[in-house]
Amino acid sequence: MTRVALSASMGLVVAALMAGAPTASAEETNDYPTAARAEYVFGCLKANGETRQAIEQCSCSIDVVASLLPYDRYVEAETVLSMSQVRSTLAGQFRSSPQAASVLNDLRRAQAEAEVRCF
């Protein structure tokens, strides 16, 4: 087989493989709303300095978190964090329940991975 024929057949194989590969929709790969991403980046910037480098790192960080943690789970963790700061009997349940601890651990693991990859 000549080099041109081999190249053409490899191209056909690659095209066939790509045609059969499942593709993720934009909704599946980016299920975090823009406002949630922006809020995360703004908070991250406040904690890490408001520099151009921090913008890049914080943007990277939310991308990593979003790739590891479904948005619904992220919302749960944010709710637990918010409620755990309130001083009341109800808020105490958010600080001490196993479910709250589990969701916070998921968020912290995702943020730790983001720290390693982005900072």
Using one digit for the tens of pLDDT, what is the confidence trace for 47-76?
Answer: 999 999 999 999 999 999 999 999 999 999
Q: How far apart are the first and last CA of the chain?
A: 50
CA atoms of 75 and 61, how far apart (whole Å)? 16
> Which pair of structure tokens corresponds to residue 113?
């991975």
Q: What is the pTM of this model?
A: 0.72
Using one digit for the tens of pLDDT, what is the confidence trace for 1-12?
Answer: 444 343 334 343
CA atoms of 58 and 67, how far apart (whole Å)? 14
Choose among 98, 51, 49, 107: nearest CA to 78. 107
